[in-house]
């Protein structure tokens, strides 16, 4: 009896001393997949606490949860979680702990001038998306368009231009903020520019909720998708349900969770610092093609590549 009590006491003591991680994420299947993959690798050494937030979750809710768990590290997914974390550390600088972020759009810009949060960019690199599509098609790409916000994506666009130039593809960039940053100004720019597009082999679509706002998506992007091939960094855009793009290269969520775990252990083991890591690109992407749209555009495929890239459902 005394031995059993001693074992119980030691077990409780170890659990109290165990280090913990708080994972803050949205509820969708993609977030859950990344979280589960990360937890499988981290749970042997840490207690992993899962905190699901939504649009109704306030900053005060977030702060209360962090204080109650009192974690040794934070993993934050989605722009809302990243925003709350930045606010929390700004208000409580002495409470800063190792923090990694992912699944937030335009993460390099979001974490600009930030030295206490590192992470993994969620979007597949533009060069990877465009060059993969170029490999899939029998006719090489020469000119690819992209619509972007200069205030958010300037560095991304310039880097992608340089990378594509090496494979003899010209990236033609259109700044949708040329006439203003408001939604109506952006939508007006898209409407007018879409009518005058010419000599483009395809358009690379950025995962930007401002450019892809509901009105622009339905009124401008959907009709455009019938006139010129669109290539995307998100899985949902290539499926038959959305039917927007001819091709998509998007994150492998299981591999993203594993990459996140590797980065996390590099930090806690002292191999790399948050400042050294900054924001890295995802390592593994999956690819899908929209067979119906490709047929409509009469796009001829490279037989070898076509065998490697499945058809979206």
Residue 115 has pLDDT above 70, yes or no: yes
* pLDDT score at 18: 67
Q: Does 126-250+286-308 match 9-123+252-284 at the fold level?
A: yes
Residue 4: pLDDT band with limits 50, 70, 90: very low
Which tokens hold the place of 276?
């050294």
Residue 198: pLDDT band with limits 50, 70, 90: confident
Residue 13 has pLDDT above 70, yes or no: no
Residue 12: pLDDT band with limits 50, 70, 90: very low
The residue extents of the domains of the chain are 9-123+252-284, 126-250+286-308
Lowest mean pLDDT among 16-30, 157-171, 203-217, 294-308: 16-30
* pLDDT score at 113: 87
Residue 17: pLDDT band with limits 50, 70, 90: very low
Domain 126-250+286-308, CATH number (from 3.40.50.2300, 1.10.4080.10, 3.20.20.70, 3.30.56.10): 3.40.50.2300
Q: What is the dihedral of CA 244, 129, 191, 227, to 10 degrees?
A: -50
Q: What is the mean pLDDT of the chain?
A: 93
Residue 190 has pLDDT above 70, yes or no: yes
* pLDDT score at 212: 96
Residue 6 has pLDDT above 90, yes or no: no
Q: What is the dihedral of CA 215, 221, 226, 230, to 10 degrees?
A: -160
Mean pLDDT confidence for 216-231: 98
Query: Tokens 């810009």, residue?
Result: 109
Q: Return the CATH class of domain 9-123+252-284.
A: alpha beta
In what helix (H) or strand (E) does residue 90 lie, and over which residues does it extend?
helix 79-91
* pLDDT score at 293: 97
Predicted model pTM: 0.87
Return the half-sphere exposure (C-beta side, CA atoms, 13 A cut-off) of residue 10.
Answer: 6
Residue 209 has pLDDT above 60, yes or no: yes
pLDDT digit string, tens, across residues 46-69: 999 999 999 999 999 999 999 999
CA distance 18 to 253: 28
Residue 1: pLDDT band with limits 50, 70, 90: very low
Residue 107 has pLDDT above 90, yes or no: yes
* pLDDT score at 122: 94
Q: Are strands 247-251 and 285-289 parallel, antiparallel or unpaired?
A: antiparallel
Mean pLDDT confidence for 229-240: 95
């Amino acid at each position: 009896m005394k031995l059993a009590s001693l074992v119980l006491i030691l077990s409780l003591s170890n659990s109290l001393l165990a280090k913990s991680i708080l994972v803050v994420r949205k509820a969708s299947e993609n977030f859950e997949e990344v979280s589960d993959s990360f937890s499988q690798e981290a749970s042997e050494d840490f207690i992993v606490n899962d905190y699901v937030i939504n649009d109704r979750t306030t900053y005060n809710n977030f702060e209360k949860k962090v204080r109650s768990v009192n974690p040794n590290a934070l993993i934050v997914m989605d722009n809302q979680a990243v925003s709350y974390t930045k606010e929390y550390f700004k208000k409580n600088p002495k409470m800063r702990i190792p923090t990694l972020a992912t699944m937030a759009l335009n993460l390099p810009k979001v974490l600009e001038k930030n030295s206490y949060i590192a992470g993994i960019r969620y979007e597949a690199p533009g060069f990877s998306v465009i060059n993969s599509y170029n490999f899939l098609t029998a006719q090489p790409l020469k000119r690819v368009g992209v619509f972007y916000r200069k205030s958010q994506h300037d560095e991304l666009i310039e880097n992608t231009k340089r990378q594509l130039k090496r494979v003899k593809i010209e990236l033609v960039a259109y700044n949708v903020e040329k006439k203003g940053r408001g939604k109506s100004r952006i939508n007006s720019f898209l409407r007018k520019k879409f009518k005058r597009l010419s000599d483009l082999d395809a358009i690379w679509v950025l995962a930007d909720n401002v450019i892809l706002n509901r009105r622009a998506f339905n009124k401008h992007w959907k009709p455009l998708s019938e006139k010129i091939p669109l290539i995307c960094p998100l899985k949902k855009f290539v499926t038959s349900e959305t039917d927007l793009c001819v091709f998509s290269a998007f994150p492998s969520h299981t591999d993203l969770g594993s990459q996140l775990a590797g980065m996390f252990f590099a930090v806690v083991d002292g191999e790399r610092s948050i400042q050294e890591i900054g924001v890295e690109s995802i390592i593994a992407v999956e690819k899908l093609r929209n067979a119906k749209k490709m047929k409509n555009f009469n796009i001829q495929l490279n037989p070898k590549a076509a065998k490697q890239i499945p058809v979206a459902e």
